[in-house]
Amino acid sequence: MPEQHKIGKTDLKVTPIGLGANAVGGHNLFPNLSDETGKAVVRAALDNGINFLDTAYIYGPERSEQLIGEVVREKGNRHEVVIASKASHKFVDGKTVMDNSPAFLKESVDNSLKRLQTDYIDLFYIHFPDEHTPKDEAVGALQQLKDAGKIRAIGVSNFSIDQLREANRDGSVDVLQGEYNLFKRGAEKEILPYTTANGISFVPYFPLASGLLGGAYSKDSTFADNRAKNPMFQGETFVRNLEKVEQVREIANAKQAEVAHVVLAWYLTRDSIDVLIPGAKKPEQVLNNLKTLQVQLTAEEIAAIDRIFQA
């Protein structure tokens, strides 16, 4: 079974590779998903030692939480599973708005508890900031829910450094989730030093840069989805990015590992990154993600990867 790490200053212990569950029931995010396959993905994670499941109200909406709730109830091991969920999306007159008001967050937690079929959520995030609610007031509402035993730890997601500082005015924020990968390293400037100094765990999303860091593309690859409009996947920039990935492949080949596993292993060497949440649409992808834990990078390799992507 994989070794477990503590998340930041919390008492939550998780496997360093968790499961990002946006493709479990995320029918609004991915085409042609099967609920049964989604449940099989969650079972594969739990059966192979992964104990950290990351979901959100908006994945579905609602369906991801429901499917996770069904599988965990079926397994009968709720006390062994660390569940993270998120809320802030609200539908008003057919439009999606963000709401961080204390009343909405408290209602959201109660609704998530029902969908997950549990009486507590291990980690609950404010998914996106809104434009109106003071960030420390929103976190204060989650602190009340923590005091009441409905949640065990407090997270914020997609917060800027200034929003994070405001949210953490009372030192209540346990986890920040934000975009970070070897191509997008902006978090290293202010956010990661702040999270490290304040005992806040940083959970990166898009760690493989929409697949670019997975090592499966060549200069002849074409894209028909959002990647077609992403500058990272266009022209000379795309070619230069692939050249960097090929340098990582040399390290991966020497270890008989995949590029993605080396990249994910590199993140786990960063201060305040305790856990990663790669997604999976099939059970076999869950098992593949776990191979990351077999990769041990030397200090020289860590520095080499750093240099490759500093250029």
As annotated, the active-site residues are 59
107: amino acid identity, one letter:
E
Bridge partners, residue 82, by sequence: 52
For the chain, how far is it from start to end, CA to CA, in angstroms?
A: 38
Which residue pairs from 34-39 have beta carbons closer than 8 angstroms and sit at least 24 positions apart in sequence? 35/63, 35/67, 37/281, 37/282, 37/283, 38/64, 38/67, 39/67, 39/70, 39/71
CA distance 129 to 72: 30
Identify the sign of the CA torsion 296, 299, 300, 304. positive
CB distance 202 to 187 below 8 Å: yes
CB distance 154 to 146 below 8 Å: yes
Which value, in Å, is the radius of gyration of the alpha carbons in the chain? 19
Report the 10 Å Cβ neighbour count for 160.
13
201: amino acid identity, one letter:
S
Alpha helices in 182-272 (DSSP H): 191-197, 235-254, 259-267
CB distance 17 to 295 below 8 Å: no
Tokens in use for 132? 């109106």
Bridge partners, residue 204, by sequence: 178
